[in-house]
Amino acid sequence: MHLKHRRRLLTLLALSLFAVLLASPPAAAQRFDELRGSGVVGERYDGYAVVRDKAAGPRVLALVVKVNYVRQAAFARRAAERDLPIDEVARAHARRNMLLWAPPGTWYLAEDGRWIRKKDGHWTGPGPQR
């Protein structure tokens, strides 16, 4: 499959998943925090979420795709406003917002590959990868 077709297919898939999950944003946000707090979903150093539990179903994957799609759009907007590379904005988001606002129990994937878990408002390291 050509790269252009693959990108188009992935974009359509992401938009479809986004549309399905848009039906209840507050519930999706609450569910996302529950998934992060339980360790099913983690946060990466690059500003994006990742499914940690390989047994998580398609709904969890769809939610993570939606969250990352929304984040990417926000990062692109901020990057354009500040004339910065998107990855720089995304990494700043990861360092500042996710580390401060992630619920207890959230796992964070550091750039060196270590998983660090947030407990009682503090980050402990290194944690096992599921």
Per residue of the chain (130 residues), give pLDDT as tens.
566 666 666 665 555 555 554 444 555 667 889 999 999 999 999 999 999 998 998 999 999 999 999 999 999 999 999 999 999 999 998 887 776 788 889 999 989 999 988 876 666 665 433 3
Domain count, the chain: 1
Residues 93-128: pLDDT tens digits? 888 777 678 888 999 998 999 998 887 666 666 543
**CA atoms of 49 and 105, how far apart (whole Å):** 14
> What does DSSP assign to residue 40?
S
CB-CB neighbours of 47 under 10 Å: 23
Look at the pTM and tell me if it is higher than 0.75: no
Domain span including residue 116: 3-127
